[in-house]
Amino acid sequence: MENSTDLGMLIQFVYVASGALFIYGLKMLGSAATARRGNMLSAIAMLVAILAALMDQGIVEYQWILLGFVVGAIIGGAAARMVQMTSMPEMVALFNGFGGMASLLVGWAALSGATSTFTLITIALSILIGGLTFTGSLVAYGKLSETIGSGAVMFKGQQVVNSLIVLGILGSAVMFCQHPDTMQWLYLIVGLSLLFGVMAVIPIGGADMPVVISLLNSYSGLAACAAGFAVNNNILIVAGSLVGASGIVLTQIMCKAMNRSLSNVLFSGFGSVSAATGEVEGEIKPISVEDAYYVLEAASNVAFVPGYGMAVAQAQHVVKELCELLEENGAEVSFGIHPVAGRMPGHMNVLLAEADVPYDQLLEMDDINPRMENVDVAIVIGANDVVNPAAREEESSPIYGMPIINVDSARTVFVLKRSMASGFAGIENPLFYKDNTRMLFGDAKESIGGLIREFE
């Protein structure tokens, strides 16, 4: 008996230590300089927590646990190494979805032996949130990869259908808690939650996916938290709460960056904007690599504004090389990072960190904008919507009111694009027609490579 008590105290101590490591690791994720160590620290904390949970269960089939660990490690390691940086948002969406499905299965498994109403409620919540997270993440994956079309899908009576689904879920959950032995109510909760995940995400346009990714991340944490209550595991409750809370905070940051309210995200209809009407007046002024070099060679202050096009071209390493050459030439170099540049939160930070760009050169939108008037050359690499002046100037624009990086305030703007195609939001960009803008057409990696050769 004494040994059992001592083991129980040890397990609870390990849980507390793991929770503290989770919190400290999450704090380290708040800085680009310490994010990698924070991620590793949190992973170690999770491993320790899993081992403690296995000890807490007593007799378990460890051979199956070990097999699952090995298979999962192989799949996760291969996916992390093989995935292209352009596909990172899709992988994050899938991971959110798998987390939701895991919580659904844990909640379902906890039904065996569940007797209290509270436990039944937490089981229903873990299944509900986990199910909608799973299918919602699959839809987000499809939109990000454009396998199902990135546009918002709307139809007449959509809100009525969603309301009926929610009422069906609530009714099924009540009946399930009252009659847990009647499995049809559980099956209804599972089916309706999976359907609701699809219905909740299809009305959201692809350009608003950064908000959706962070919200689904929060949902996966909340599902894990509910599953923790269902199986009475404290560390799962703590870990799920941390993920859920941090995801909500990130969602609010994303909403602010896109001039959206959280209610728009939660109650659908979000991002279902139409393309801007009318054509932008003005003349496109292309520039060659050679002429762009002469402008850069004379510049004393250069700001890069990266977007998804940089990820597509895998241009982050040549961008770093060009930065070094500009600094050797006496120019001050900085990067303006919009919160929703790319297709997931922090997409550009990940790309530039991979290329070892100094963290102190990465400036947030609110920090770079006051300096933009003193910038000699602003180089926009594949960004479109986050530098679109229509957000300030055209009330009819679907992105009107969205905070942007004011690259048009720089003395000269180079826009690196393959063509005049619109961005992910599908709207025209008046920046391309402004007097101080020059279009450097072609693959961004090749264009910047050409500038490097000119400098050398």
- Of the candidates 354, 331, 325, the one whose C-alpha atom is nearest the C-alpha of residue 451 is 325
Rounded to the nearest 5°, which phi and psi values hold at 29? -70, -15
- Of the candidates 273, 287, 281, 123, the one whose C-alpha atom is nearest the C-alpha of residue 193 is 123
Under a CB-based contact definition with an 8 Å cutoff, are residues 107 and 129 in contact?
no
- DSSP letter at 413 equals E
Question: What region does 310 belong to: left with phi over 0, alpha with psi -120 to 50, or beta?
Answer: alpha
Give the strand pairing for 332-337 and 362-364: parallel
- Of the candidates 95, 48, 91, the one whose C-alpha atom is nearest the C-alpha of residue 239 is 48
Under a CB-based contact definition with an 8 Å cutoff, are residues 136 and 197 in contact?
yes
d(CA 136, CA 198): 5
Alpha carbon dihedral 128, 134, 135, 137, in 10-degree steps, equals 130
Alpha-helix residue ranges (DSSP H) falling in 58-145: 62-82, 88-109, 117-145
- Of the candidates 131, 72, 135, 139, the one whose C-alpha atom is nearest the C-alpha of residue 104 is 131
Give the CA distances from residue 24 to residues 12, 20, 300, 435, in Å, rounded to whole numbers and listed in that order. Answer: 18, 6, 40, 49
To the query of whether residue 56 is one of the catalytic residues in this protein, the response is: no
- Of the candidates 20, 41, 66, 26, the one whose C-alpha atom is nearest the C-alpha of residue 235 is 20
Cα Dmax for the chain: 84
- Of the candidates 257, 134, 101, the one whose C-alpha atom is nearest the C-alpha of residue 200 is 134
Rounded to the nearest 5°, which phi and psi values hold at 362? -90, 110
d(CA 99, CA 65): 17
- The amino acid present at 369, given as its one-letter code, is N
d(CA 86, CA 308): 8
Under a CB-based contact definition with an 8 Å cutoff, are residues 276 and 390 in contact?
yes
Rounded to the nearest 5°, which phi and psi values hold at 411? -65, -40
- The amino acid present at 202, given as its one-letter code, is I
Q: Which of 208, 385, 435, 443 is catalytic?
A: 385
What tokens appear for 280 in the block?
A: 């932008």
Under a CB-based contact definition with an 8 Å cutoff, are residues 365 and 340 in contact?
no
Residues taking part in catalysis: 385
